[in-house]
Amino acid sequence: MFDSRLAAALIASLAASPLQAEDSLALDRFVVAYGQYETNLSADASYQRKDRETVRSYGVSEGHSLPFVELTWRPFGRHQFRGAWFDHGRDGDRTLSENVEVGDTVYPVGAELTGELAIKVLEVDYTYWAWLSRRNALGPFIGVVRIDVDSAMSGTVTVEDIGAVDLAAQADESITAPKIGASYVHAFNEHLRLTVDVGTFERSIPGGNAQIWDTALGLEWYPWKNAGFALRHARTRIDADVERGNYDGSAEVGFSGWQLLARLRW
């Protein structure tokens, strides 16, 4: 039998859901954030000739402060879009103790080299807040990540009877891939929030494949209604295996560090 009171209660609860989403302390309608990413870039790569058993490995780790930009827009109660961007560049000098071949260029023992590495990261994603209450928001997200890696090496070698000779080599790689994960936000009150994000994706690259993991844990503090700060610890790790010609190679690249952002919200 049709129960009019049950139907009325159901309609009322459905009608109240958008209002509950709008009143959520865990989410905002629109956010612009800018700050610094005190990141530590670590990289380790190895390659091995298929006709040899020797493996050469190189590692480097150095901290830098770089700009970080983030935009968030929630046009509807449970639907949110986000974009984030940062880039990382570093350089260093070294004197070779053995011959190194990069592409068609051979750098001999004793060459004074300057190496440069630049990594740019752009993320765009969509989150559906499947569980949304006044103090909590939890949901899956899907998106796209683009990572551009530019590396260059240059140096000068003194050749007998010729003099100084300049050598240079450059390599560029780009990865664009889908990303999936989940986000959680808990509002302790109208001024303080806890945020957790976990994501991953896998992508085929020329000669191999790469797997990427993202994690972030943070706190947001709003001393004013429309302005506040976010402090997050984030980590990104890229594992890649590549097979090209007579070489097999692998690489691990990681970002980890603190993000301190100023946030404006509406």
| Residue of 249, 210, 234, 239 whose CA lies nearest to 43 | 239
Residue 71 maps to which CATH number? Answer: 2.40.128.90
Strands (E), the chain: 30-49, 56-76, 79-95, 100-102, 105-107, 112-128, 131-132, 136-159, 163-187, 192-205, 208-221, 227-244, 247-265
Residue 168 has pLDDT above 80, yes or no: no
Residue 14 has pLDDT above 50, yes or no: no
Binning pLDDT at 50, 70 and 90, where does residue 160 land?
A: low
The Cα–Cα gap between 3 and 7 comes to 6
Average pLDDT, rounded, for the chain: 77
Q: What is the pLDDT at residue 180? A: 94
Residue 32 has pLDDT above 80, yes or no: yes
- Supply the range of the domain harboring residue 63: 4-265
Q: Which two tokens stand for residue 196?
A: 């957790």
Domain count, the chain: 1
Residue 171 has pLDDT above 70, yes or no: no
Is 210 exposed, middle or buried, given 0-12, 13-18 or 19+ CB atoms closer than 10 A? buried
Contacts of 117 (CB under 8 A, 6+ apart): 41, 43, 89, 90, 91, 149, 150, 151
